[in-house]
Amino acid sequence: MLRLVMTNFTCAAYISILILLFSCKNENTASKTDAHDSYNIEEQSDLWVNYTGDADMPKIVLVSGDEEYRSEEALPQLAKILAEHHGFNTQVLFAQDPKAPGIINANYLHNIPGLESLNDADLMIIFTRFRALPDDQMVHIDNYLKAGKPVIGIRTATHAFNFKDSTATNYMHYGNYYTGEDAWKDGFGRLVLGEKWISHHGHHKHQSTRGLPAPGAESHPILSGISEGDVWGPSDVYGIRSPLPDDGKAILLGQVINRKGEFDESDPLYGMRDTDDEIAMFNSADKERNMNPNDPMMPIAWTKSYQIPNGKSGKAFASTIGSSTDMLSEGVRRMYVNAAFHLLGKPVPAKANVNLVGTYNPSGFAFTKEGFWEEKNVRVASLRM
């Protein structure tokens, strides 16, 4: 009888301890949830990656998701530079198939986990292409822009979104091909950044881009520590309508450069080099050769203010150079770091430290076949420092 009573007492005590522990755990979780409406920058996850800077420095959220120019490689490197060398707190988000969470799949157009983190972000850097995100993700981008917070758009961000007519969405107007006769005509790219997708102005994979200061922009803070010709990349110049809308101001013009060496599909730079110096007189893809891509030169980097309907005014910087292989250029990296300082209202360093952090071996830009990402199996968690 005594043994039975002791057994029952032990069980009761054990259950009480478990209840107490469970209650404490729930209380702690509730406190954390109440304290943060968005994901905590300090909180790691298998769905995104954080690089922690200084406690008193701004939070930058970098949104990747393009099928061609390897934003999933470029943005983690840029985020590490911003955190490691300059103390910014950075968080990088990635496209993923919900059926394989934590595995990068740049070809999956409908899911970028973690966009809630924009709720308390100080700067958004976006490098996406033709995304069709669900409303419960788009709302965080929309709220961020309504707050008038600063935006940096990289290359395909001019056509960051695309919603087909059959898509059930409240954000059709964000799409690159939106034709409504309202402020959103031509979508997010035109209204916020200053341009949508127009064309390849240089010959894709055959003619590179060299950045030259636009007239009157030579002393702009975004060009601090950047000499003429420092900005170079194997990606081609995009076509841009002139003049830029509203108060858009060109910072860099893109000089189209011919490749000296042989085309090499296995080379991440496709045979192009920053030492190439032959200025193109025609787009080598144009059999008629009736257009000189350097007359006039297109803007490849510019500033612009924006204000979406029912929102506050904000500032944007956009550049059409920025593929993962473009980021091998010190000048390209410095331009984006300078832009972050400038848009956040901080003094731009005379010559910002943009040394690469860790190993960086970017892939050549290219579309990939179905099943590529499943086979590559790149885990977001593997990108942590």
Dump pLDDT digits (tens) for 168-220.
999 999 999 999 999 999 999 999 999 999 999 999 999 999 999 999 999 99
Ordered DSSP codes for 359-378: ---PPPP----TTHHHHH--
- In the chain, DSSP assigns E strands to 48-51, 59-65, 89-93, 123-128, 151-154, 207-213, 232-233, 249-258, 278-279, 298-306, 314-319
From 241, 218, 240, select the one nearest 230 (Cα to Cα): 218
pLDDT at 53 over 90: yes
Between the alpha carbon of residue 302 and those of residues 155, 168, 240, 314, the distances in Å are: 12, 33, 11, 15
- Say which amino acid occupies 122: D
CA distance 298 to 125: 22
Overall average pLDDT of the 252-257 stretch: 98
The 3-state DSSP class for residue 288 equals coil
- State pLDDT tens for residues 328-373: 999 999 999 999 999 999 999 999 999 999 999 999 999 999 999 9
What are 217's two structure tokens?
A: 């922009």
Q: Give this prediction's pTM.
A: 0.89
From 209, 210, 213, select the one nearest 222 (Cα to Cα): 213
Position 287 confidence tier, pLDDT thresholds 50, 70, 90: confident
Looking at residue 289, what is its pLDDT?
A: 85
Looking at residue 8, what is its pLDDT?
A: 41
Looking at residue 15, what is its pLDDT?
A: 38
pLDDT at 270 over 70: yes
pLDDT at 36 over 80: no
Between the alpha carbon of residue 325 and those of residues 197, 205, 366, the distances in Å are: 21, 12, 11
The 3-state DSSP class for residue 194 equals coil
DSSP H or E run through 17: helix 2-35
Dihedral sign for Cα 245, 249, 251, 254, please: positive
Q: What is the DSSP letter of 110?
A: S
**CA atoms within 13 A of residue 265's CA, in its CB half-sphere:** 2
CA distance 190 to 158: 7
Looking at residue 44, what is its pLDDT?
A: 67
pLDDT at 242 over 70: yes
Which domains can be identified in the chain, with CATH numbers?
A: 48-198+300-383 (3.40.50)
2 class by beta-carbon count within 10 Å (0-12 exposed, 13-18 middle, 19+ buried): exposed
Looking at residue 81, what is its pLDDT?
A: 98
- State pLDDT tens for residues 75-115: 999 999 999 999 999 999 999 999 999 999 999 999 999 99
User: What is the pLDDT of the chain when averaged over all its residues?
Assistant: 90
CA distance 331 to 259: 20
Calculate the CA 239 to chain-centre distance.
20
- Say which amino acid occupies 304: K
CA distance 175 to 180: 11
User: CB–CB of 322/154 below 8 Å?
Assistant: yes
pLDDT at 120 over 90: yes
- Say which amino acid occupies 168: A
Answer whether the bond into residue 243 is a cis peptide, omega within 30°: yes
CA distance 321 to 238: 9
Length of the chain: 385
Q: Which residue has the higher pLDDT, 262 or 27?
A: 262
User: CB–CB of 104/382 below 8 Å?
Assistant: no
